[in-house]
Chains A and B, each alone.
Chain A
Amino acid sequence: MMMRRRTLFGMGAGLLAAPSLARAQAAPLEVAGVYSLSGTFANVGDLLNKGTQMAVEHYATAAGQKINYTLLDDQGDPGRAVRLVQEAMGQHGIRHIVGCTNSAIALAVAKEVHARGGLYIHMAGADEATGSECNRSSFRWPGASFTAINATVRPFIQRNPTAKRWYTITGQYVFGDSLLSNLKLVLADTGHQLLGNSYHSLSEREYSGYITAAIAAQPDVLAICNFGNQTVDVLRQAVSFGMKRNVKLVVPWSTGLDQYQAWGADICDGVYFGVNYWHGVDAPGNRVVSEVVMQKTHAATNYLQACGWAVMQMLVEGAKKAGTTEIPALIGAMEGLVYEGPTGTETIRAADHQVIKDYYLMLGKARAAMHDANDFAEVISATKAFQRPELTGCHMA
């Protein structure tokens, strides 16, 4: 009798375990990350990739399938990125792609993944990614240039009503132009004056001439329309030329902590920054990211790590809702998906596949006011400022 009971118990346990065994034996989910681990954007791509890798290790599975992650190093070249994606999808059967280091790469990869019937989740900054270039296969996590400008410039204007005269220094490429055109619209809408703009090339590293031109225009506000190391250099040189004395400095698109560390507190003090992510935000999703990153790196999470994490989390959350990683079902499940992301409750808008999330306006603190080594700035406002779907130009293909 005892034997029979044991046998029955064993059989029951076996039956209960069967579905999970079946799941465990399911083919792994192959996911490729497209990042620039060498070339001009290597400093950005490296951290994005690490964020994605940490998310892969943390979640481990998507809809019961073990996640296998493959890195595709595009070396900052959109053409190479497309070739690598073609190879991954064509020869290795990978259908799930995440990541990008800049907008040009994302826009090129998005077309390729869509044409091959895959899924692509990225962090491009150009409006076009969920606008005129949108497609059903592609999803974007961060707020883009419309969001960056509207979530920083409008609250800035409310706080500084007397700062009427603006000057801009802009990187001359898709994203810089996109920030500038959105800024012009907001300034026109609020009755502010744009005194002038200095474009500079993407290879520029010496900005004193542009800053001299800005000083000569005698603006109340200098806005820097760019991203990455060029933004770091422009702000550093503007501060060194004493512009903080009588000009408000606004950086509508910054990456937050890693750039604050590159500037140091003395430069950040009194400068307004727009950021997509801040490690100090108290939200359930952010607590998860922060704990994992702290455990792995013994440091606070920065935007790039959070971004890399978020694109993988979106895939996992979508698969969880769909119960499968099959592309059509996954895309359907992701449209309208609500989940706890790194900035709080985040929603994927079905109309253009844009994640609706907070974008923060931050004000740099004086060194003496910092509570810890990462406390460079305080959050002034958190805004979900997104272009209305009918105005994005997105016609879902």
Chain B
Amino acid sequence: MSGQVLVFQVLNGLGIGMIYFLLSVGLTMIFGLMRFVNFAHGALYLAAAYAAYVVSLLTGSMLWGLLAGPLAAAILAVAAERLLLRHTYAMPHEAQILITFALALIVQEAVILGFDAQAKNVPVPDFLAGIVFLGPFVYPAYRLAVVGVAAVVALLLWVALERTRFGTILRAGSESTEMVSLLGIDVHRVFLGAFALGGGLAGLAGALAAPLRGVDPFMGEEALGIAFVVVVVGGIGSFTGALLGGLLIGVVQSVMSSVWPEGARLMIYGAMALVLLVRPAGLMGRA
């Protein structure tokens, strides 16, 4: 592999990594705050992608779709939390996994019933349909825009978590929900807010991914697999870890596409195993 190809692959990997960050940050946030294992995270991503697809069809503009996707996922997350998941917080993780997995299957089958099992195309917004030359490197304009959105989201999330009262409560809640509760804060409302935010972030990832890969009913389970790898690599519950984990996994996957193409996917898990050997709690996790 030449030096130029290596640079191409690293740059491309950073782009993939930002998309993976967006995909996984909601999952890690919910677990970090609530110690809740949400296997329905991929279903929120799926629902948002289809919402974006439908709205873009109806309005003829993917921009409306990009707004509708996160909104739909946030509403679905709130409804699921209020009607079902709040009753499972006291249950063991195994029960939460089973219940959220069932929820994911219900959403997936509902999508198949409502549409069909075939993949659908979601057009890239016209003004982002071309390519961008970064020196000798060619990159799709839309992919670059997604990376930009992910970077902005990362910055806004950091500000929200580190510089606002809501963020302070979330961080405190992740340390000790009992203590936050004793301070007179309604933890259930905080949980609901976190779930809506986590769902909205999964939805944003789904809506942004729709023009990149189209939509199909099985995209949720694929996304969930990657999201878990990123969360584990980064350290469960760590916002910074999700960012670092996403970037690491993206770069490994992209570089290995040239070094050992048939093993590129496998090396995602290889990287995860290596990180866990060196740092069992993940890159930014606390033991």
Contacts and interface: CB of A to CB of B under 8 A. Distances in A.
Contacts of B116: 43, 46
A213 B257 contact: yes
A369 B117 CA distance: 29
A229 B216 contact: yes
A282 interface: no
Q: Give the size category of A's interface with B.
A: 35 or more
A204 interface: yes
Nearest to A206: B16
Interface in A196-220: 198-201, 203-206, 208-210, 212-213, 215-216
A266 B138 CA distance: 19
A83 to B, nearest CB: 23
A204 to B, nearest CB: 5
Contacts, number: 119
A43 B258 contact: no
A293 B126 CA distance: 35
Interface stretch (B1-9, B93-101, B272-280): B1-9
Contacts of B130: 242
Contact of A172 (B13, B119, B129, B262): B262
Chain B contact residues (Cβ within 8 angstroms of A): what range?
A: 35 or more
Interface string A238-274: 0011100100000000000010011110110000000
A209 B254 CA distance: 4
Contacts of A209: 9, 12-13, 16, 253-258, 261, 264
B176 interface: no
A80 interface: no
Contacts of B131: 240-242, 245
A213 B1 CA distance: 9
B264 A204 contact: yes
Contact of A261 (B4, B13, B121, B262): B121
Given A206-B16, A209-B12, A233-B214, A258 B140 contact: no
B171 interface: no
A245 B130 CA distance: 11
B118 interface: yes
B89 interface: no
